[in-house]
Amino acid sequence: MHIPKVLLVNDDPASLYALESLLLDAADQHLYELITASSGKEALRHVLLQEFAVILLDVSMPNMDGFETAEAIHSHPRSAGTPIIFITAHYADEMNRLKAYQKGAADYLFTPVIPQILQAKVAVFVEMAAKNLQLRIKSDELARLNQDLRVQRLQDLERINAELELEIKERKQAEQRAHDLSTRDALTNLLNRRALIQQLEHAVATCDRSGVGFALLFLDLDKFKQINDNYGHEAGDELLRQVAARLSAAVRVADIVARLGGDEFVVLIEGKSASSNAARVGRKIEQACALPFDIGSHRLKTAASIGIALYPEDGANAQALMKNADTAMYHAKQNTAAPVQFFHEQLNVREREREQWTLDLRKALAANQLELRYQPQVDLRSGRVIAAEALLTWRHPVHGPLEAAQFLPQVQERTLLDRIDAWVIAQGCSQASLWQSLSGSAHGVQGPPLCIWLNLATPQLHADLLHALLPAMRKHGLTPGSMGIELNEKLLLGPTEPLAQLLMQLQSAGVRTALDDFGSARSSLAACKRWQLNALKIDRSFVHGIGNDEGGTDIVAAVVHLAKALSMRVIALGVETRLQMEVLQELGCHLCQGDLFYPPLTASGLLEQTSDINFNLNSPTLLSNEE
């Protein structure tokens, strides 16, 4: 689908990043495609290759300024009418404003730009471009139709006649099958498990005689349990009925749709080219299920994970084919970027490996092989250690010490992940109480409490977190601000209303919240603002880019500036050199965490190494750490 394009031109990396962040939300919603350029020459190259709904152009640029760039853009016939909005920091320069309008400017804005004004102006031109694009497409289609109307009509009639004949034949076959089986799911009126098995066995026998294979699609809904828990079983039942209707509309008449139970559905596709047809139908189903569902007064969103198995390649009988399609669906559920997956034998190997990891981790929890290591966070103004991140480590008897990222992604069992989170919460609260009591009694520390930041194993936030964390804080007598939860983008996904209530309850209880590894997955600052998080942790890859020739320092500066604008504390991860620390100090970063100060410490090491919580930022030991 074609969407309008917006060109943003600015030679200053920090300003470019700041303006881009104001427009990313609409771009992520596919309202338009956002393209950036860091010079007038680069902007001209973009204009020669593609059309833009509007161009946001910086006035002051080296070599070719905004006015020269605008004149060159408007001199080209295809871009002569492209609207240009100039952006400048010179408030009182009325001559430049006049010059801009003489160059054909549509508008003239001063920085700092008010986000709503910039977004509204861009939206107007995008809407105009979208309407023009639709008109152009319709005109082209009409012109093609008029080229040879008589021939086209004959071809259409022949095609429609062939499709009708095929549809009548397939409908009779489908009606005969439904009549013979006469076994339906009471909720959705789809075929049930028993009828599906009979149909599968019939398809296997037919394939064995004719040699024409078929495809089996195994479908599971994402977040169905959450919808049931949050909105009730009646809403869940209505969702299943609407999903069944969309599945039936997405497949051909001859295809078989069945509900196995719960939120699991199966589609059987027979005939030639079953593989390509299965991929097409799978994509069609995935797109249909991605649209919102209106249930009562709620508009709910879910998604479909689809596994595809082919007969006879992926199974010798109906039972094996069903199992392998289920395995492929499970793989699709873990790979959100590709929600439709075909089965192959390697998936079985991965499944067995996951099962072994789960079994070993369950034993490790019982055998006390897990431990928390703590990496302190240093205040860059006072030099005080005021917080520490709790990092889960597994003392594996074969592989040695393993970090959480090495084994948690292999475990999908929700009950086990919940047990690990409960253990992490209990250990972290106990350590926070002991650390605060020892530091306070030794130094008479006043002010905000020392904070322990926790990472969760479960992939989404749910109410069980409150039931585990808040009683543990009360048990150890922890004051507000003593504990923090680090959240990544996956943890912030879910129904908006329940998630907002959960975060509000956490924050009301004095639990701090932080967006972890900002920049590692294109995290949205809009999420920080929406959920009113307390802190933002800059990903270590950004920190390691400080001082390079690729604008690494400017990017970090932009992140710090924008986070402060949202009243968030800024924590830099992976600080390893004095240069990084000094740049972060100059930029106004609040806290640093990394091997320059402390590596991850055991519980006893945390108490011993940070007993003197006033860290000397000018200490020569920093130089030895760099070495």
Q: pLDDT-derived band of residue 619, with 50, 70 and 90 as boundaries?
A: low
- CA–CA dist 57, 67 (Å, integer): 9
Question: How much is the average pLDDT of 470-496?
Answer: 86
- CA–CA dist 311, 308 (Å, integer): 10
Q: pLDDT-derived band of residue 28, with 50, 70 and 90 as boundaries?
A: confident
Q: pLDDT-derived band of residue 583, with 50, 70 and 90 as boundaries?
A: very high
Q: What is the pLDDT of residue 371?
A: 95
Of residues 42, 35, 49, the one with CA closest to residue 5: 35
SS3 371: strand
Q: Which amino acid is at 39?
A: S
- CA–CA dist 566, 54 (Å, integer): 28
- CA–CA dist 338, 177 (Å, integer): 33
Q: pLDDT-derived band of residue 525, with 50, 70 and 90 as boundaries?
A: low
Question: How much is the average pLDDT of 42-63?
Answer: 88
Query: Which is more confident, 511 or 620?
Result: 511
Q: What is the pLDDT of residue 513?
A: 92
pLDDT tens sequence across 346-396: 655 766 788 889 999 999 999 999 999 999 999 998 888 999 999 999 999
pLDDT at 140 over 80: no
pLDDT at 27 over 90: no
Q: What is the pLDDT of residue 433?
A: 92
Q: What is the DSSP string of 479-505?
A: PTTSEEEEE-TGGG-S-HHHHHHHHHH
Question: How much is the average pLDDT of 25-43?
Answer: 88
**Quick one: tokens of 221?**
């809904």
pLDDT at 471 over 50: yes
Q: Which amino acid is at 223?
A: K
Q: What is the pLDDT of residue 181?
A: 53
Of residues 377, 529, 533, 373, the one with CA closest to residue 448: 377
Q: Give the rounded percent of residues in the chain with a pLDDT score beyond 90.
A: 37
Q: What is the pLDDT of residue 178?
A: 58
- 112: alpha, beta or left? (left if phi > 0; alpha if psi -120 to 50): beta
Q: What is the pLDDT of residue 176?
A: 66
Bridge partners (DSSP) of residue 26 are none
Question: How much is the average pLDDT of 40-46?
Answer: 90
Q: pLDDT-derived band of residue 625, with 50, 70 and 90 as boundaries?
A: very low
- CA–CA dist 333, 304 (Å, integer): 8
Query: Which is more confident, 157 or 495?
Result: 157
Q: What is the pLDDT of residue 422?
A: 94
pLDDT at 403 over 90: yes
Q: pLDDT-derived band of residue 177, with 50, 70 and 90 as boundaries?
A: low
pLDDT at 337 over 80: no
Bridge partners (DSSP) of residue 537 are 571
Question: Where is 569: in which H helix or E strand?
Answer: strand 569-573
pLDDT at 581 over 90: yes
- CA–CA dist 224, 33 (Å, integer): 32
- CA–CA dist 511, 487 (Å, integer): 12
SS3 614: strand
The length of the chain is: 627
Average pLDDT, the chain: 85
Burial (0-12, 13-18, 19+ Cβ within 10 Å), 117:
exposed
Sign of CA dihedral 544, 550, 554, 555: negative
Q: Please say whether the beta carbons of 568 and 533 come within 8 A.
A: yes
**Quick one: tokens of 377?**
């966070």
Q: Delineate the domains of the chain, giving CATH numbers in brackets.
A: 5-145 (3.40.50.2300), 183-343 (3.30.70.270), 357-613 (3.20.20.450)
Q: Give the rounded percent of residues in the chain with a pLDDT score beyond 70.
A: 89
- CA–CA dist 228, 214 (Å, integer): 34
Q: pLDDT-derived band of residue 524, with 50, 70 and 90 as boundaries?
A: low
* pTM for the structure as a whole: 0.53
Q: What is the pLDDT of residue 613?
A: 58
Sign of CA dihedral 260, 266, 267, 271: negative
pLDDT at 412 over 80: no
Q: What is the pLDDT of residue 345?
A: 65
pLDDT at 410 over 60: yes
Bridge partners (DSSP) of residue 55 are 7, 84
**Quick one: tokens of 370?**
């897990």
Question: How much is the average pLDDT of 260-270?
Answer: 93
Query: Which is more confident, 474 or 526?
Result: 474
pLDDT at 627 over 90: no
The listed range with the strongest mean pLDDT (172-186, 234-248, 521-535, 553-567) is: 234-248
Q: What share of the chain is helix, strand, coil (3-state, %, to 5)?
A: 50, 20, 30
Q: pLDDT-derived band of residue 626, with 50, 70 and 90 as boundaries?
A: very low
